[in-house]
Amino acid sequence: MHHTPKLFKPENRNTFYQTGNSQEMQLVTHPGVRNDTMNIVYTETSQILATRLARALKIPLVDVKYSRFPDGEHYLVTGETGEETIIVGSVVDNNALVQLLLLIDACDSSRIHLVLPYMAYARQDKRFQPGEPLSARAVAQAIGRGVKDVYTVNIHEPEILKYFPAPAQNLSIAPDIGAYIRTLDLDNPLILAPDYGALAFAGQVASAGGWEYDHLEKTRLSGLEVRMAPRQLSAAGRPVVIVDDIISTGGTIVTAAGMLYQQGATDIYAACVHGVLTGGAYARLMGTGIRDVICSDTIERACSKVSAADRIANAIRSH
């Protein structure tokens, strides 16, 4: 039989309500916040984005305590939620998935708006051979139960939205990435997608500054040698920003950066929505001579320089 894990008491007892002999977690608020019937809870992977979203919407954050049982099972407890609750939780790994499932269940007395900034398993959106699971469908159906609606951010394949049991809307922060690139004051930058599939995303980024954009094209020169270069435009004498929805291993960008420098690019930046950055990808990218790696807070990293909070807040306000 499980016993409730012991939760550490905060140093400031004012962060708790006193109710008889028990303690209930108080709403954590910010200056200027409305006290109304909507509030926000979060998984451990989305604390920063949840805080920014609470400030953008001027609604309270409800504290959530996380711990584990001795056998490794997850446990959580939330403070008092209102009539409507926004749950912010990126699924970056299996632990985050379980936390999100538990949090949705814990808030079942509210109308739940699920903000899913990043969704692991979304790249397995079709069966490539018999016997494989449709992982994107399995995860979407699991976390979409019991919620009123779902907001995703640059989900890898928008077709996945149909798998959620609740209405789902995909938001793009490509314009916000473009707005950040504008602050770099680059002279006539070329916005490059790593392949044709990401060209539309590159176009959305480029529209923020009226810049030219293109995609990289591979040309096999021999059995061992491959050349990567912009399909139509030249990188010579200008800064280049390689953009994509996800940077995972960074392998393509590392290879492309070396070749673009050989082709005369002055500076190269890498920008994405979701900085997965597995296996030392960030260090590898910077070691190639890339000036900076820019990603958003859908996955919270040291290089998260763009926030999805305002875009999500606007979408929630419009509903």
Instruction: Name the one residue in this structure whose structure tokens are 């959305």.
Output: 204
Contact between 112 and 105 (Cβ < 8 Å): no
Q: In whole angstroms, give the CA distance from residue 235 to residue 255.
A: 15
Residue 218 annotated as catalytic:
yes
Residue 82: closest CA among 110, 113, 115, 60: 110
Q: In whole angstroms, give the CA distance from residue 28 to residue 30.
A: 7
Please enumerate in sequence order all residues whose Cβ is within 8 A of that of 273, keeping only pairs 6 or more positions apart, or say none.
153, 154, 173, 174, 177, 245, 246, 295, 296, 298, 308
Cα-based distances in Å from 223 to 115, 135, 147, 230, 297: 46, 35, 52, 21, 41
Contact between 314 and 197 (Cβ < 8 Å): no
The number of residues making up the chain comes to: 319
* Set 6, 126, 218, 305: catalytic member: 218
- Chain centroid to Cα 261, Å, comes to 30
Q: In whole angstroms, give the CA distance from residue 300 to residue 307.
A: 10
Q: What is the 3-state secondary structure (H, E, C) of 257-268?
A: HHHHHHCCCCCE
Instruction: Name the one residue in this structure whose structure tokens are 């409800």.
Output: 62
Locate 223 and state its tokens: 């059995």
Residue 244: closest CA among 161, 158, 160, 156: 156
CA-CA-CA-CA torsion sign (171, 269, 257, 283): negative
Residue 175: closest CA among 202, 195, 137, 155: 202
- Which residues are catalytic, by number? 218
